[in-house]
Amino acid sequence: MSVTQQQVLEVLGRIKSPRGVALTNANVLSAISASDGKVFFSINVDAAEARAWEAVRAEAEAAVRAIPGVTTAMVALTAERKPGAAPAGRGAPGVQPVHAHKPPQGGTSPMSRQAEIPGVAAVIAVASGKGGVGKSTTALNLALGLRDLGLKVGLLDADIYGPSVPRLTGLRDKPELNAERKMIPLRRFGLAIMSIGFLVEEETAMIWRGPMVMSAVTQMLRDVDWGRLDVLVVDMPPGTGDAQLTLAQNVPLKGAVIVSTPQDLSLIDARRGLAMFKKVNVPVLGIVENMSYFQCPHCGTKSDIFGHGGARHEADKLGVPFLGEIPLHMAIRSTSDAGNPVVDSEPDGPHAAIYRAIAGGVRDQLKGAISAG
């Protein structure tokens, strides 16, 4: 049975807003996306009222989820500050992500921006200053490298602008809900995997604004039954804009790995990434140089077509660990794009060894947080 916008509106019409009128008459609803049992919309309110609306958001989401035929319901609360209003936090200028609000009594509320995720020892981000540098490929192979070190690992694809984990893993299913109505992550290669791409069509993802990104990612972190994990690897959206900053600030990160290519331009972007994590006090675990040198798939000869070594030099200069260099190699691209990442499909090959060494560097830095290894 497919769910219609009309059905969603009927349910929302029975919910009372803090303004005293029905939610549907409060002039706060975005367009409602309802297709294939998946329903998404946002409630847009003034930042000053945001806290009062969180209960309504939760009620709306529960009500929509209860409609027969709904498999996924995601309701984002987005709060825009009136022009000229005093900033209420460190979030994006002009736009206040609701989840950045401090809970009334400090850091213990489940809505707290830095609340730990129960059962997850360490959340780490894989970030890049721009798209196309191989961030997602690195995130997945790093997750697999950590798995090979005996850790329990999850992967959260938070790249809302271009979720690539469905392509990289070959997973397309929709996550099911458990008895507590938490989403059960998909499993592949021994990893617990969740992607915004399992929930929304790519076009929907593209138009989400910063606060909606945050709201969606918060749900993927906290409304998912991750089980017990040593490390949850978060594949961040590329870039260092407001959405990324808000994410870095709101997700309880133990550290971040920055992926860069050796080209100058990419390194400038990587530097911005470093600055971003510094701003929000997230330790940078290190830099990975991807597509570091070209390795001929036939003869194995190495060519430094991009002037290899820039990221190592940059890391030294900035006093950040250098985690390793990954060659530009056909096998990495073809396995990645076929949904068989190289660490899993060629575990005895040279590339898997490189990713495992990088994973070892990351694991060593997380030793205080994770028990295994």
Would you put residue 261 in left (φ > 0), alpha (ψ -120 to 50) or beta? Answer: beta
**223, burial (CB in 10 Å: exposed 0-12, middle 13-18, buried 19+):** middle
Q: Which is nearer to ligand ADP, 185 or 327 (CB)?
A: 327
Minimum CB separation from ligand ADP for residue 336, in Å?
4
Site for ligand ADP in 152-191 (CB under 6 A): 164
Strand 33-35 versus strand 38-46 pairing type: antiparallel
Min CB(132)–ligand ADP separation in Å: 5
Cα 247 to Cα 202, 218, 276, 316, distances in angstroms: 20, 9, 11, 27
Q: How far is residue 182's CA from residue 176's CA, in Å, rounded to a whole number?
A: 8
Instruction: Decide whether 2 or 334 has the Cβ nearer to ligand ADP.
Output: 334
CA distances from 2 to 38, 41, 67, 292 (A): 9, 17, 10, 48
**Residue of 333, 339, 346, 373 that binds ligand ADP (CB under 6 A):** 333
C-beta of 216 vs 270, nearer to ligand ADP: 270
x/- contact string, 30-49, with ligand ADP (CB under 6 A)? --------------------
Q: Annotate each residue in 291-330 with x if it binds ligand ADP (CB under 6 A) or - if it does not, as one string.
A: x----------------------------------x-xx-
Task: Give the C-alpha separation, 190 to 149, whole Å.
Answer: 12
The whole-angstrom separation of Cα 332 and Cα 344 is: 11
Please say which residue, 213 or 326, places its beta carbon nearer to ligand ADP. 326
Q: Tell which one of 133, 158, 224, 311 touches ligand ADP (CB under 6 A).
A: 133
Q: Does 254 bind ligand ADP (CB under 6 A)?
A: no
Show the site string, 256-295: x = touches ligand ADP by CB under 6 A, - = not: ----------------------------------xx----
For ligand ADP, the binding residue among 200, 247, 332, 343 (CB under 6 A) is 332
Q: Does 134 bind ligand ADP (CB under 6 A)?
A: yes
Cα–Cα dist 93/241, whole Å: 11
Site for ligand ADP in 61-90 (CB under 6 A): none
Interactions with ligand ADP, residue window 202-241 (CB under 6 A): 238
135 contributes a contact to ligand ADP by CB under 6 A: yes
φ/ψ of residue 349, rounded to 5? -80, 175
The two three-digit tokens of residue 47, written as one number:
């930042």
Closest separation in Å from C-beta 130 to ligand ADP: 8
Residues 101-130 that bind ligand ADP (CB under 6 A): 128
Q: Does 341 bind ligand ADP (CB under 6 A)?
A: no
Burial of 304 (0-12, 13-18, 19+ CB in 10 A): exposed
- Strands of 72-80's sheet in order across: 33-35, 38-46, 72-80, 95-97
Mapping DSSP to helix (H, G, I), strand (E, B) and coil, where does residue 262 land? coil
